[in-house]
Structure 1
């Protein structure tokens, strides 16, 4: 077939349903919303001067060409990332994270009541005992005087667990059923070694580039660490870092799947020609599949149609589910057989002005479909048959949603910024837990932007980071906040879990500990793998967190040696890719810049680095 069937008749599109400020009609392109920082020009196949950060990673601050900030104690308070105030700038004192804050906001489905402040009038701290008494009183008020909001749950059937992809980048996960928290936690493949102390095993130097170049994408197989290069894909030996193979391409990789098949097949997007001065820009039109074991490009192709007409369709992102490779963008969506590249459907214009902006892959295939005229577009979430593209179920996003991101396809969890209410560039005001079989809403989880630290690139469908699904739960970190000592630089956070059937918060949470910050990476069975970003004088850690009890087990701890520590600190979790597998952690840059000068310290930072306990 040439195009997925139209939406099911049981949920007809509403042409009158506006979604905030009008979005640009294809093919005209506009700068994409970002992460609270001024944006790099947009990329991945759309008219531009320079590529964007791509693949769902936050944009690099224009003042720093590297991917992390040196974590030395600053001489003066600075503005924290994403526009959040630092603890010194916050006027009202925040209550402990993971608990209700403001009466007008739902926290995981509970109406909120403002808790008693932790500081008494005059700036004197209340005793811990008194805080407990006050908190108990507030809890009584919540129970007696407030109703519990939650959406009607679905069938609660036991769905097959979504297998985590080998070597995927940080972000969306998908292990666990779709019912209320039935996971047992624990399990998984990652076990602590006898000695968790890691050593620096190798560094990959940065290649020279004439202009800003996106190098997003990294994967781990049984034999290799694979990283996007310049007009190439390169595999490195796990222990030595020596190149095992290099795959030259006609142009720069401009999109790659987060998911890899069980036999190490990786779908990619790349440009048909190399970038040349003065614009250093090529359209993102070529689709292909790479065998990560052999380093061979198995096939490549392009398609026409949709708003591209007789020209090659341009794509912004790509994914895989089963044997189907699916690519989407403002020209529409297309799908291919992963074995040979034969098209399964192509972009096609229709009278409802609908097109598939992108797809979420992995255990299922879910389309984010935009429909309607320029001034009143609306967004549909369609769970698809991966082979035919026929919708299995459909959910129409609420008025005020211009874009949506898929956090997990099975169970189906969607993130969106309703009415641009988040206000922090995170792309998330709410999570939507959906029944993938019926399309019905099970729970809406409101994520206070001042409270939670998950991020999604609004115009990228499969771009979310720090939001992980497993055990019938959604795991998200809180934003950094002041630790127990109250000293400058003593910031910490927690990981909170929400039940996908009810939207309620789980009573357990994982604490990072003073001066550390938890960054969820992926699921491992019933456990959560997370990176603990360290203070400037310590090494980072990889930990396994039981998905039910939230108890932590250290798997790896990087050296605290200043020289080695400086290398780690150059890879900020918000501007880097972090992968962990079998005793090895890999950190890599997502953007390269033209060297500023030979004396610039960031020009000497590596493209990628590995630490290992093996």
Structure 2
């Protein structure tokens, strides 16, 4: 929600390796400057060595962990600097921190002092950011197709724009510094462009930076975490729905999902300094702002600490993962349900993925000849394993790109090889996803660290995984990969030249995606038909060109598209005292 490799990765996902001291990236969160080439952290120009940028496949390949040949090419060395050039037209240069899909931004101050750092024990996991709920009907415009016909207006069954007023943007509490939040950002808006419904600035953060994790949208409220606060705004006009909740210390973990009745769990630190732990848990109702149960997460024993904690929700269970174990609570009552501890041949569970299923990853036989990872599906109510899948020796589970169906991104530390493996619902092997090009989901995370599902720009249905390609020139594409064969089914190019298009999630048989802004056009929300022979983009929202600079300046972001509204928020704060930082924007018809 982890470190750059010693060498550039093979294939293009850039899973992290131990990094030498001379290659340490900048500490603290990334600046909120314009993102390189399209807003999702895709590199400009040739990839940079040492930070896991996707590389061109070379002439050599190696077999994957399950007997197949994958694109494990030895990459070409590239210049070592991670400084990126700003995108033309944004008006102010920024130095972007290194982005390497599969590796998160490190926390300020150099991270934890866990003695297992750099070893195969995984940090516990959070769940998916940027949830998407869609319903109703929308008037959409096709942005182009393969039949050569001009785009036409038509009615889509995916999304329904919510009627809004034409009042100025500043519908909030009046706070801010008198600039963007207190000006009409819709001035000069062109016909057909969406409106900025409201804009919010972030609370003050320390000079070292702070995290602003999560984004939760209910029927009436948009909720965001920022440093020590939870803030909530009416989805339509941006007025505060309840008073901000301020915690005694900074927020250090959140549940990326919310429950079906719109509750979350937040963890905040016990104090300040080296003795502080991320062990104070608090349940919060998103619609009312009421605080429910709270508890202190206990230490797990030697090397099993709460210096960093990741939270995941599955059903009525929330799991708080320590470095080598986990404790589960009833998400509504706070009652402790079970502990997940060491099992079998020295297997230490430390990674959890929530959602429709609860997945755990354990490191087994650490330091021995039998060292390997294991993956389990757990019963959320009891913690019992429904099945166990043993990962081949030498391969590590780095990410879960999907929970249902389960798609695992594996990393082979000995030679930087990578692969994607998918499992059946009973935990047996299904397929190895074979690819022959570079893919670039956004796994930059936030200053809280990373978890198994701390990646955006990925979507899936029962049979297909949807991934964005790396953008080298022109526009990138979204590729549909068969989970049965591992082969490419189809691809769709971003409708705007020079931009990056990233999946958000599925809605029925349609894929909803975000097209990042370019220097002369605002971003878009589009729908893509996934069935049939024609896979075209249909425009659901066209954001204003006049505010493209503001939209593009959300460097590290969480997004959601709900009921015809598009929400864009930051996930990290720089603590810059010279200017008010952006927190959140809402767009609509």
Equivalent pair of 2:527/2:537 in contact (CA under 8 Å): yes
CA–CA distance in structure 2, aligned partners of residues 521 and 420 of structure 1: 33
CA–CA distance in structure 2, aligned partners of residues 169 and 295 of structure 1: 20
Q: 1:298 to 1:82 in 2, by over 3 A?
A: farther
Give the Å deviation of 1:516: 2.1
Whose radius of gyration is greater, 1 or 2?
1
1:515-550 deviation line (CA, Å, top 9, x unaligned): 221011122222111110121111110111122343
Give the Å deviation of 1:347: 5.0
Q: 1:250 to 1:193 in 2, by over 3 A?
A: closer
1:482-507 deviation line (CA, Å, top 9, x unaligned): 23xxxxxxxx1111111112212213
Match of 1:609 in 2: 585
1:344 paired to 2:337: yes
Correspondence for 1:236 among 224, 230, 233: 233
Match of 2:469 in 1: 478
Give the Å deviation of 1:446: 3.7
1:242-291 deviation line (CA, Å, top 9, x unaligned): 22222222322212222211111112222223x4xxx5983211223221
RMSD across aligned positions (CA): 3.9
What TM-score, normalized to structure 2? 0.68
Matches within 5 A, 1:367-446: 367-374=360-367, 377-419=371-413, 421=415, 429-437=418-426, 439-446=427-434
Matches within 5 A, 1:20-169: 38-39=24-25, 60=30, 65-66=31-32, 68-69=34-35, 79=45, 83=49, 104=61, 169=129
Match of 1:209 in 2: 205
Equivalent pair of 2:397/2:409 in contact (CA under 8 Å): no
Equivalent pair of 1:70/1:570 in contact (CA under 8 Å): no
CA–CA distance in structure 2, aligned partners of residues 187 and 308 of structure 1: 56
1:359 paired to 2:352: yes
What TM-score, normalized to structure 1? 0.66
Match of 1:199 in 2: 195
CA–CA distance in structure 1, aligned partners of residues 313 and 469 of structure 2: 30
Give the Å deviation of 1:292: 0.7
Q: 1:540 to 1:403 in 2, by over 3 A?
A: same
Give the Å deviation of 1:508: 4.7
Match of 2:439 in 1: 452
CA–CA distance in structure 2, aligned partners of residues 106 and 514 of structure 1: 36
Equivalent pair of 2:17/2:413 in contact (CA under 8 Å): no
Give the Å deviation of 1:348: 3.7
CA–CA distance in structure 2, aligned partners of residues 517 and 405 of structure 1: 22
Give the Å deviation of 1:416: 2.2
Q: 1:70 to 1:496 in 2, by over 3 A?
A: closer
1:269-321 deviation line (CA, Å, top 9, x unaligned): 22223x4xxx5983211223221111122112123353358x97455311111
Equivalent pair of 1:451/1:478 in contact (CA under 8 Å): yes
Q: 1:80 to 1:608 in 2, by over 3 A?
A: farther
Give the Å deviation of 1:205: 1.2
CA–CA distance in structure 2, aligned partners of residues 350 and 396 of structure 1: 14
Match of 1:528 in 2: 511
Equivalent pair of 2:34/2:552 in contact (CA under 8 Å): yes
Q: 1:389 to 1:40 in 2, by over 3 A?
A: farther
Equivalent pair of 1:171/1:465 in contact (CA under 8 Å): no
Q: 1:80 to 1:103 in 2, by over 3 A?
A: closer
Give the Å deviation of 1:40: 5.6
Give the Å deviation of 1:216: 1.4
Q: Which runs of 5+ in 1 are unaligned?
A: 1-19, 22-30, 42-49, 54-59, 95-99, 115-166, 174-185, 424-428, 484-491
1:449-490 deviation line (CA, Å, top 9, x unaligned): x6111244696222122221114110001000223xxxxxxx
1:327 paired to 2:320: yes
Give the Å deviation of 1:418: 2.4
